[in-house]
Amino acid sequence: MEKQSNFVELHNPSRIWAIGSIHSNLHSFTSIKKFISDNFKKNDKLIFLGNVIGLGEFSKETISSIIHLRFELMSKFYLKPESIIFLRGAQEEMFSKILQLHIAPNPIEIINWIFDHGVDKTLNSYGYTREDVKNIATTGTVSISRWTAKLNKSILDNPGHKEYFSNLKHAAFSDSKKILFVNRGVDVSRPLSAQNDCFWWGYQNFSNFNKPYNTFVRIVRGYQSNQKNKLENAKNEVVCTLFKQPLTNNMIYGGIFSENGEILELFESN
Q: How far apart (Å, rounded) are the C-alpha atoms in residues 210 and 91?
A: 26
pLDDT tens profile 50-69: 999 999 999 999 999 999 99
Q: Is the pLDDT of residue 196 over 90?
A: no
Identify the band that residue 1 occupies on the pLDDT scale cut at 50, 70 and 90: very low
Across all residues in the chain, what is the average pLDDT?
Answer: 94
Q: Is the pLDDT of residue 174 over 70?
A: yes
Q: What percent of the chain has pLDDT over 70?
A: 98
125 near 157, Cβ under 8 Å? no
Q: Is the pLDDT of residue 3 over 50?
A: no
End-to-end Cα distance, the chain: 40
pLDDT tens profile 86-114: 999 999 999 999 999 999 999 999 999 99
Q: What percent of the chain has pLDDT over 90?
A: 88
Q: How far apart (Å, rounded) are the C-alpha atoms in residues 81 and 144?
A: 35
Q: How far apart (Å, rounded) are the C-alpha atoms in residues 241 and 254?
A: 9
Identify the band that residue 46 occupies on the pLDDT scale cut at 50, 70 and 90: very high
Q: Is the pLDDT of residue 152 over 90?
A: yes
Q: Is the pLDDT of residue 267 over 70?
A: yes
Q: Domains of the chain (ranges plus CATH)? A: 4-88+169-268 (3.60.21.10), 92-161 (no CATH)
Q: How far apart (Å, rounded) are the C-alpha atoms in residues 85 and 49?
A: 8
What is the four-CA torsion angle of 214, 217, 221, 227, rounded to 10 degrees? 110
Q: Is the pLDDT of residue 199 over 50?
A: yes
Q: What is the mean pLDDT of residues 171-177?
A: 97
State the pLDDT at residue 119: 97
Q: Is 14 exposed, middle or buried (0-12, 13-18, 19+ CB in 10 A)?
A: exposed
Q: Which region, left, alpha or beta, applies to residue 86 given φ > 0 means left and ψ of -120 to 50 means alpha?
A: beta
Distances (CA, A) of 111 to 56, 77, 91, 98, 99: 18, 42, 13, 8, 11
Identify the band that residue 233 occupies on the pLDDT scale cut at 50, 70 and 90: low
Which residues lie across from 255 on neighbouring strands?
Answer: 18, 266
Identify the band that residue 77 occupies on the pLDDT scale cut at 50, 70 and 90: very high
Cis peptide before 246 (omega within 30 of 0): yes
State the pLDDT at residue 81: 92
pLDDT tens profile 206-226: 988 999 999 999 999 999 988
Q: Which region, left, alpha or beta, applies to residue 39 given φ > 0 means left and ψ of -120 to 50 means alpha?
A: alpha
219 near 238, Cβ under 8 Å? yes
Which residues lie across from 9 on neighbouring strands?
Answer: 173
221: CB partners within 8 A, 6+ apart: 20, 49, 181, 182, 183, 184, 185, 239, 240, 241, 242, 243
State the pLDDT at residue 228: 73
Strands 16-19 and 253-257: antiparallel
